[in-house]
Structure 1
Amino acid sequence: MREPLSIDSFPWLVADIGGTNARFGLVQEPGGPVAHVETLKGSDHPSPQAAALAYLDTVTARTGERPRPRQAALALACAIQGDTARMTNSAWVVSRETLIRTLGVEQVLLLNDFEALALALPQLSAADVTLFGGPARPDAAAPMAVVGPGTGLGVSTCVPVGQGRWVALAAEGGHVTVAAADEVEAEVLRLLRREFAHVSAERVLSGLGLPLLHRALCTVRGTPPETLSPEQISHRALVEREAAALATLDVFCSMLGTFAGNVALTVGARGGVFIAGGIAQKIADHLVGSRFRERFEAKGRFESYQAGIATGLVTAPHVALTGAAQGIAHALRQSDPGGG
């Protein structure tokens, strides 16, 4: 059983920082939701600490009282090693020591963004997830995985360790070598391997990869290849019902199902595999009606194993902020096992 957290440790400042935007929020009491969520454009601020101070100024102007966070956690779209992180797609350098000094907090936790998403999985309610593809239901007592096709392809796993605690495994699973499951996919990958020495899952299952997938698939289908943005491909498929774009989304969803099934087998994600990220939400209806689940289960002798694993689309907003808050809670309980 988890011990309650002391009210003296609140409020908590949580953030989800990507290459373009930084989202901030506050948790003001034990078990409380993430409140006062604001999105700031990263380029408008010289540093993460400047953005955090601007956020606190905004909350102050709205409420008439300046928040004084005691704890902070930042979910970052980059790899983290030690006390400093360099953002992959922005000039920001995130320093734990600088944030502690500037914000006056007691501690700062730096998390990979998908590590934070994984920590949020046990907290998701039925209203936060659209389950699809079978009768299986999530099980927060078993390992769960999150797969996120966005600008790149994120992957992480959340493992229960007892007493209501979870450990999130930060990894780079999106960079594994992608596999083909039929002749069309094999031909697509053959074409891409002419251009790239290594064709990773992220190379096709992401916003960066969708145009490459579309171009290669047009060549396979014998139609003139075009260079389109992910938004153009989605519009042509979902609004104009254009054949090549629809075929691209079909292959995308099928390959995503194969990949998600591989993740489930690799980490033993019997608690469920959840799809997050902007692309998945934009093509939600197409994804749910696609061959994703068929491919997820198509693992030969382990088909029945896969059939027992729930798959769902995360629809709740600001999930990484919830995960960042869980990171703080776990860190506080670990530093004070007696329940302080």
Structure 2
Amino acid sequence: MKPSLVGDIGGTNARFALWRDERLEAVRVLVTADFADPQLAIAHYLAEQGLAPGDIAALCLAVAGPVKGEHFRFTNNHWQFVRSELAAFLHLQPADLLVINDFTAMALGMTRLRPQERLEICPGVVEEDCPAVVIGPGTGLGVGTLLPLGGGHWRALPGEGGHVDLPIATPREAQLWQALHAQLGHVRAEDVLSGSGLLRLYRALCTVDGHSALLSSPAQVTAAALAGDALASSVLEQFCVWLGRAAGNCVLTLGARGGVYIVGGVVPRFADFFRSSGFARGFAEKGSMSRYLDGVPVWLVTAEYPGLEGAGVALQERT
């Protein structure tokens, strides 16, 4: 039996694996900047596994951006592809090439989490017949919705929730928004709630409070905050509060009492800080609807490859 190929491609990294017997094999992470297009990256991965393009039974690509039509252009990197050309390159029938939004895959990946692959942030009880929210800062901000269909089956709804307006709830946040607006014009949630957004927030806070911006990367901001630097700590705290506001808004919009999963590569780097931060306050501060958020569980996902797992689930659900 030929294996299938699954891929989870974000703005910075492309993760590939073989999918055989409902599990991942031979996971490999490639840097998107090292390849001109996904076709070359796939060919490189297959060659590393001793496989040719015609040696796979199907392909599911989870991609960062809205999925529609023949031509796909990635939101946060230089890659693009045409479905029919990619299928022909891999000797696949069109029906055997599945292209889904990366947070559709991420949402489906939540169905395969093991207990040790998530940390409790807000306690609560899952309402089994309700949607769950999957939200994650990475190169951008991804948002997905997981719907239970019964009988062990699931449906994930794609969307571009990372591009909604940044939620403002306090005069302090309005000041920071003004500094961001002066630089960006329209301010999306992703403009703050992402890796590059953390540095952008640091610079905005320095502008508002009259500090010199001495740090020059998101990693430096995180490291300084974890080392106890008061300025960097306040930046990271505001980041967590804003992520809480965005996640709470999703719960209200979707009726997502099935829980919230925080994913992506950013937050696990400061998991202990996050657990004690104002995230829960930002999550629940919804005025007259604050009680609605009571009992909605929130977890920080620490699984290594949930997007790849979800791409495999998508292949299973397709058949």
Q: TM-score, normalised by structure 1?
A: 0.86
Moved more, 183-192 or 275-284: 183-192
- Tell me which amino acid in the other structure corresponds to 1:159: L
CA distance in 2 between partners of 1:128 and 1:67 (Å): 35
Moved more, 194-203 or 229-238: 194-203
- Does 2:300 match 1:310? no
Q: Deviation per CA, 1:141-189, whole angstroms, max 9, x where unpaired?
A: 4311111111211111111233432222211111111122222212111
Q: How does 1:269-288 map to 2 (within 5 A)?
A: 269-288=256-275
Q: CA deviation at 1:137?
A: 4.0
CA 44–253 in structure 1, closer or farther in 2 if over 3 Å, else same = closer
Aligned to 2:286: 299
CA distance in 2 between partners of 1:188 and 1:251 (Å): 10
- 1:15/1:22 contact within 8 Å kept: yes
CA 244–144 in structure 1, closer or farther in 2 if over 3 Å, else same = same
Aligned to 2:79: 92
Aligned to 1:335: none
1:120 to 109, 114, 117: 109
Aligned to 1:157: 145
Q: How does 1:1-340 map to 2 (within 5 A)?
A: 11-29=3-21, 32-60=22-50, 68-106=55-93, 107-134=96-123, 136-138=124-126, 141-226=129-214, 228-239=216-227, 241-332=228-319
- 1:216/1:225 contact within 8 Å kept: no
CA distance in 1 between partners of 2:221 and 2:159 (Å): 29
CA 259–66 in structure 1, closer or farther in 2 if over 3 Å, else same = closer
Indicate the SS of the match to 2:208: helix
CA distance in 1 between partners of 2:56 and 2:300 (Å): 32
CA distance in 2 between partners of 1:126 and 1:112 (Å): 25
- 2:53/2:91 contact within 8 Å kept: no
The structure that has the greater radius of gyration is: 1
Indicate the SS of the match to 1:168: strand
Moved more, 78-87 or 241-250: 78-87
Q: CA deviation at 1:191?
A: 2.2
- 1:20/1:41 contact within 8 Å kept: yes
Q: Deviation per CA, 1:271-328, whole angstroms, max 9, x where unpaired?
A: 1111111111112111111010122122233333212211011100111101111111
Indicate the SS of the match to 2:77: coil
Q: CA deviation at 1:207?
A: 1.7
- 2:122/2:296 contact within 8 Å kept: no
Indicate the SS of the match to 1:192: helix
Q: CA deviation at 1:34?
A: 0.9
- Tell me which amino acid in the other structure corresponds to 2:130: A
- 2:12/2:139 contact within 8 Å kept: no
Indicate the SS of the match to 2:49: helix
Moved more, 278-287 or 196-205: 196-205
Moved more, 136-145 or 34-43: 136-145
CA 320–230 in structure 1, closer or farther in 2 if over 3 Å, else same = same
Overall identity of the aligned pairs, in %: 40
Q: Deviation per CA, 1:110-139, whole angstroms, max 9, x where unpaired?
A: 1111111012122222122111122x1445
Q: CA deviation at 1:67?
A: 8.9
- The answer for unaligned runs of 5 or more in structure 2 is none
Q: Alignment RMSD, CA only? A: 2.2
- The answer for unaligned runs of 5 or more in structure 1 is 1-7, 333-340
